[in-house]
Structure 1
Amino acid sequence: MPPFTSRLIETADTIEAVLDRLLALEPAPGEIARPARLIEAMRYAALGGGKRLRPALVVETALLFGQSGPGVLRTGAAVECLHCYSLVHDDLPAMDDDDLRRGKPTVHRAFDEATAILAGDALLTLAFDILADPQTDDDPTVRSALVLGLARASGLGGMVGGQMLDLEAERLSPDENGIRRLQAMKTGALIRFSCEAGAILGRASADEREAINHFGAVAGLAFQLADDLLDVTASAEAMGKATGKDEARGKGTLVSLHGVDGVRAMLDELVSEADSILAPFGPRAENLRQAARFIAVRQV
């Protein structure tokens, strides 16, 4: 097993434990009440599945700058809460209308549509609750930067805006620039922020943060390209969700424009670009180099 894969599994297990505590069925002393059905749906959406790649990027980037510990893990968990919210809402009948996610029924199928909407809403707001809490970092400037960064990556100019463009793509057929913009917002923005968050926690310099943001953007594009490849080459059983839906709906992707071999060549170029971006960090960045390679060649 490649070293990064082992680290990813280890981080996923750790993040699972953090999420399990944050999403406890019973509130901790001093916390407000938790409606049983809502917290059960949130736990169903967030626990027991997923690679936890975004938290892993938070962890590895923070480690690059000498930062680790509970605050880093809480930040990774916050990003994962927001990611899981996006999956719950993307799966809804009004959006992608999916019945399967991570190999099990989607939240609106396991519970009901209204509960799924509220569970997504609650996971979204919990993400910002976690980041704003002093337990995440004792420096309010750092917490503010994390909240602002996640808001921008996930909102109008990020993930939500990208989802709107994705819905429009079913009837507008964007060109290559349009597809790249859509993907950079819908998928890439949260992956880029995952890297940026580690740099914020690690008190990186402005130049270092710029480099890490660039790396995150490259990693985000590579993730989407690999996802598009898997959508046309992998089975639904392997992916744990429906495949072939973009082609069925007539959505343009870089795979439809450049073909499987063309996209694989683009992924090779992105891995090389990631290596170049990380070169100034030397051996300290080896885990992130491996992360870029993992993202480009992943099979699920």
Structure 2
Amino acid sequence: MLLKEYLETGKKLVESGIDKYLSELSYPEVIAEGMKYAVLNGGKRLRPILHFMTLEILGCKKEMGLATASAIEMIHSYSLVHDDLPALDNDDYRRGKLTTHKKFGEAQGILIGDALLTHAFYVLTEKNSELSPEKIVEIVKLTSSYAGINGMIGGQMVDIESEGKKISLETLKYMHANKTGKLLRLPVETACVIAGAMKEDRDVLLKYSELVGLAFQIKDDILDIEGDFESIGKPVGSDLEHDKSTYPSILGMEKSKELLKETIESAKTIIVDRFGAEKGRVLLELAEYIGDRNK
């Protein structure tokens, strides 16, 4: 299967980059060790892999995006470290291992997350020497926007404010389009910047990223009900425990599964229409993987 090989090689590539960039740090030891623990303790590496796939469909080598992909994964990992804290989701396990604050301490967990976010911007600017200054500035602008109040942080705030309340489907869509979706759009859009993509290609790839982002979240909501600890690496039922609105809680399980299937089919259709089934094969398989995954 093409995708399985791609996932393996993409994961190895980005983890080699992350390890290299984080191995430059040594003191304070607890922060340096905690940063590596938070990022390199497993994970699908979906965001870096989306970045690599986009580069290659646009005719660029994936190595051109190693620094950017590594930085995006650091930002994603920082968000998980902070999500797991007692003030937010209060989770003890992530990817089948102790969460960062449980391993190193709560105050240390906060600082480890802060360090990952900050260091990501160092990597974007210092390790992207093959890119023009204009492209680096554009990548930094997109990253700061999508990781901040106009993206992940804004979506997270709406998530917190929505706990214990009945919210509309539109509010749920906004919440997840920002909390989860923007950080799935980011690797695709930054790859378009690196490759100098034409507008038509860029528009289709960004729409694809939005659709797979939606599919990813719907599947996450389903797995929180139907999954198991061994597969997803954390206790199931946390959304219900925190009285969070999800696609199943608003639409019901059957309609949520229907929406998941429709979203994946839409993502596949726009790729085939623009790039063809052969050139876009790995993106087609990725969309199917997101819908079929059990973790």
Please tell me the TM-score bracket, short chain as reference. Answer: over 0.9
CA contact (8 A) 1:74 1:136 kept: no
Residue aligned with 2:184, SS: helix
In the alignment, the residues of structure 2 paired with residue 154 and residue 20 of structure 1 have an alpha-carbon distance, to the nearest angstrom, of: 22
Determine whether 1:145 maps to 2:144. Answer: no
1:176: which partner in 2?
169
The Cα RMSD (Å) is: 1.4
> Against the structure 1 CA distance between its residues 297 and 69, is the aligned structure 2 distance closer, same or farther, given a 3 Å change threshold?
closer
In the alignment, the residues of structure 1 paired with residue 192 and residue 128 of structure 2 have an alpha-carbon distance, to the nearest angstrom, of: 18
Gaps of 5+ in 1: 28-32
- Give the 5 Å matches for 1:131-142: 131-133=124-126, 135-142=128-135
- Give the 5 Å matches for 1:23-34: 23-24=22-23, 26-27=24-25, 34=27
1:292 is displaced (CA, Å) by 1.1
CA contact (8 A) 2:93 2:233 kept: yes
2:275: which partner in 1?
281
CA contact (8 A) 2:11 2:44 kept: yes
Determine whether 1:51 maps to 2:51. Answer: no
1:160: which partner in 2?
153
CA contact (8 A) 1:137 1:143 kept: no
In the alignment, the residues of structure 1 paired with residue 257 and residue 61 of structure 2 have an alpha-carbon distance, to the nearest angstrom, of: 34
- Give the 5 Å matches for 1:195-274: 195-274=188-267
1:79: which partner in 2?
72
Bigger shift: 39-48 or 245-254? 245-254
In the alignment, the residues of structure 1 paired with residue 129 and residue 209 of structure 2 have an alpha-carbon distance, to the nearest angstrom, of: 22
1:151 is displaced (CA, Å) by 1.2
**Identical-residue share of aligned pairs (%):** 37
- Give the 5 Å matches for 1:10-29: 10-24=9-23, 26-27=24-25
One-letter amino acid of the counterpart of residue 97, structure 1: N
| 1:61-110 deviations in Å (ceiling 9; x for gaps) | 01111111433122111110000000000000001100001111111110
Q: How many residues align?
A: 293
2:2: which partner in 1?
3
Could you list the structure 1 runs, at least 4 aligned residues long, displaced by more than 4 angstroms after superposition.
Answer: none
In the alignment, the residues of structure 2 paired with residue 73 and residue 253 of structure 1 have an alpha-carbon distance, to the nearest angstrom, of: 34
1:296: which partner in 2?
291
One-letter amino acid of the counterpart of residue 149, structure 2: L
1:134 is displaced (CA, Å) by 5.4
1:144 is displaced (CA, Å) by 1.2
TM-score of the two chains, using structure 2 as the length reference: 0.95
| 1:107-132 deviations in Å (ceiling 9; x for gaps) | 11100111111110111111111112
One-letter amino acid of the counterpart of residue 104, structure 1: K
